[in-house]
Chain A
Amino acid sequence: MQILLGSLLNGLVYGMLLFMLASGLTLIFSMMGVLNFAHASIYMLGAYFAYDVSRYISFWAGLIIAPLACGLIGAAIEVWGLRRCHRSGHAAELLFTFGLVFIIQRLVMMIWGTLPVPYQVPGSLNFTLFALYGQNFPAYRGFMLLVSAGMLLSTWLVLKKTRIGLIIQAALTHPNMVAALGHDVPLVFTIVFAGGCALAGLAGVIGGNYFTTDSGMADALGPIVFVVVVFGGLGSLVGCFIASITMGLVQTFAVTANGSISSLFAPLGFDLGGDTLLGEILTLPIARIGPLLPYILMILILFFRPRGLMGTRDA
């Protein structure tokens, strides 16, 4: 029971973090048709910025400064890079962001080195919030939940309740009409892209000391975020939310599950082991299949329902 509850909470925290990343990506893709491969790289930059700022000033300053910096970088990428690629089509934009991934990773290695940096939870948040059945729930995780929920709520408010949000929603599906009405659509695109990057940066600030901060963190999280975005459906934030939480829970629970596929069949009298690849797959404990799950899910969903769970447009 305690493991269940503990995993539930952990899965929730991880899922919210994924949602912070995936929501920005979904917004950018829905609006601009660009799948930003470099999104997880911005997340990584956010973590590293936060680390530097928290070293010289404080963690709380980093919470503000790092996302802002990431937003500015996003704006720069959009204005000087993506906008130029736009006329060559979506393929060019996709490739541009793909190239950015390698460059950003190398830059990070050059500036901060190849070893993980000691970006740590600030002392003020480093205590146990409560203990549940003998398992400690750190206050920092509660903080993460608070920040992600707060950020998402404000994003939702901005989109639904403000004028700029209305324009963004309209430009989501009818950019030309919105431009014809006199709005500066390229500026809207820049704002959305920068906003998405700022979100990713914020995710990096709070996630960087939850996980390790090193030059491989973008590679670790990036593919999962893609799977979430595709799974939840392009164009739908609600679908994205459901998918993020689901993925977070699935991955967390998979790690703690005991048994394997063959053990499911054992009571039926089948011996599915054996010294072959198939045998290895079937006897592999589910905990270790975890890393494969997101990709299998993504392939399945794209095959059966390319719209994802609740998407409003096909991928």
Chain B
Amino acid sequence: MSDATRPRDSALIANRRRFQGLRAASPWLAVLAVAVLLPWLFYDYAHGRQNSFMISMFSQMGMMVIFALAFNMLMGEAGLMSFGHAAFFGFGGYCVAHFLNAAAEGDFPVPLELMPLAAGLSGLALAIVFGAMATKQRSTAFAMITFGIGQLMVTAALMFQHFFGGESGVSTDRQSAYSLLGINYAQGLEVYYLIVAWALIAALGMHYLTGTPLGRMANACRDNHERAQFMGYNPRMVRFLQFALSGFFAGVGGGLYAITYEIVTYDAVNLPLSGNALLMAYIGGVGTFTGPVLGAVLITAMQSGVSLMSNSWVIYVGVLFIIMVTFAPTGLTGIIKAHAPLARAGRLGRLVVPYLRLTSPGLMVVLGFVGLVEMLSFLTIGAAEGKRFNVLGLSPNLHASPPWLITAACLSIGAIWLRREARLFHRVWDTLMADLGPAGNR
């Protein structure tokens, strides 16, 4: 490399570095800006108060972003599927609940703003203990051990009164701890901003880790653990350290959970929560850093929004998950990334029409499926609850055949049509990609 001896050159280089730094930081700043402004988009200006439902949902998104990213440290970065990750999330929560209660007694003078750090350290401690066992294995054996650990925690949480509080869990009060900033965290908005701050810190930390020797070797061990051994690395140690750090961040999320809801029960260590992390990371895309973030935001929104309208959101999310696993294992960000070579070559416009052609049959399939599920759900669950079945102002009689025939027809015709269009789409896609050459460039 040539030396920059002239003053003007070194100034240019310094400027370029600053510009590159800004470019790298801009996505983070943009997301931060959005997160900060988000509650105000839903502010009830007429009554001068925040929309508490939306704040609650956004708070949950923040926690889940941290949890999903921590989960992906194992799944995407290290190639380790952890089926019991909620154990560390929940443990962080239980610990903070106890810390807050201790603070109320005057025994634990840690400010509320630093409680998530305490939660992280608790998660780290548990992850070290369990990690020593789990990381002895890889792949399926690892998945099974983590499953066992998760189930162990759930069973213990239900069983033991001490520490876990049995079925009723541990209650606490976030105002037991003093605040460094003098805020009393009575409002949901204040808690939300605390979550945003910690989500940023956690995400920055986890992102930094991906660029460290440990982070890179975790990737290497994921791709080829034998090769990594012949570079002097003990894959077990790499797995263990990655597991421990992942437990730290999961614990941070759990601490925020305890602060927000002021009660921690076995739900915070349960299998559905572990499954949720899996879902979010996978649907968002485990191969990228932003994938889990996208997945967390999307799934939380779906769960909050759809659950308002329907009891069956579990089915929708489950079906979405299965479809992603089968047809798009790289997740949403993977799909977006796949378009990158086309975008660079300026060929993205060729896909507009094929995509448009997919929307109509796609809508038919979705409507048909949703219709069937909702009607079925109503007949068994909804009717018992005394609700009436309303769609677009109509009240169809579900005991007669017309609504069923219509939705079934919608679903089947839509499916057949979709299959045809999908095949055509694939043909267009393959042709475009083949034109680009093997490495996706000229």
Contacts and interface: CB of A to CB of B under 8 A. Distances in A.
The answer to A–B direct touch (Cβ < 8 A) is: yes
A85 B328 CA distance: 10
Contacts of B233: none
A84 B326 contact: yes
B275 interface: yes
Residue of B81, B140, B373 with most chain A CB atoms under a 10 A cut-off:
B140
Interface stretch (A7-15, A106-114, A139-147): A106-114
B100 interface: no
Given A106-B318, A112-B380, A277-B160, A295 B143 contact: no
B50 interface: no
Interface stretch (A42-50, A176-184, A238-246, A284-292): A284-292
B188 interface: no
B327 interface: yes
A302 B317 CA distance: 32
Interface string A26-53: 0000000101000000000000000000
A78 to B, nearest CB: 13
B133 A299 contact: yes
A309 interface: no
Contact of A81 (B161, B315, B322): B322
Interface in A222-265: 223, 226-227, 230
Task: Choose among A88, A106, A110 the residue with the greatest number of B CB atoms under 10 Å from its CB.
Answer: A110
Interface string A70-94: 0000000000010011001011101
A113 B384 CA distance: 9
A224 to B, nearest CB: 10
Contacts of A219: 271
A292 B144 CA distance: 15
Contacts of A102: 275, 314-315, 317-318
Given A106-B314, A281-B160, A302 B144 contact: yes
Given A84-B327, A295-B151, A299-B133, A306 B377 contact: no
B295 to A, nearest CB: 13
B380 A98 contact: no
Contacts of A299: 133, 145, 148-149, 152
A92 B325 contact: yes
Contacts of B278: 95, 98
B156 A306 contact: no
**Interface size for chain A: under 10, 10 to 19, 20 to 34, or 35 or more residues?**
35 or more
Nearest to A276: B162
B319 interface: yes
Interface in B299-341: 312, 314-315, 317-319, 321-322, 325-327, 329
A97 B365 CA distance: 23
A113 B383 CA distance: 11
A299 B153 CA distance: 12
A91 B326 CA distance: 11
A234 to B, nearest CB: 8
Contacts of A106: 312, 314-315, 318
A306 B326 contact: no
Contacts of B148: 227, 295, 298-299, 302
B136 interface: yes
Contacts of B326: 81, 84-85, 92, 96
A302 B161 CA distance: 29
B162 A277 contact: yes
Contacts of A277: 160, 162-163
A64 B185 CA distance: 62
B282 interface: yes
B64 to A, nearest CB: 17
Interface in B30-49: none
Given A95-B278, A112-B380, A277-B163, A306 B325 contact: no
Interface in A284-315: 284, 288, 291-292, 295-296, 298-299, 302-303, 306, 314-315
Residue among B148, B160, B162, B163 with max Cβ neighbours from chain A (10 Å) = B148
9 contacts: A91-B81, A92-B326, A95-B321, A99-B318, A103-B319, A230-B144, A295-B151, A315-B137, A315-B144
Interface of A: 33, 35, 81, 84-85, 88, 90-92, 94-96, 98-100, 102-103, 105-107, 109-114, 219, 223, 226-227, 230, 275-277, 279-281, 284, 288, 291-292, 295-296, 298-299, 302-303, 306, 314-315
The 5 A-B residue pairs with the shortest CB-CB distance, nearest first, are A315-B141, A103-B318, A277-B162, A295-B152, A99-B321
Interface of B: 81, 133, 136-137, 139-141, 143-145, 147-149, 151-152, 155-156, 159-163, 271, 275, 278, 282, 312, 314-315, 317-319, 321-322, 325-327, 329, 373, 376-377, 380-381, 384
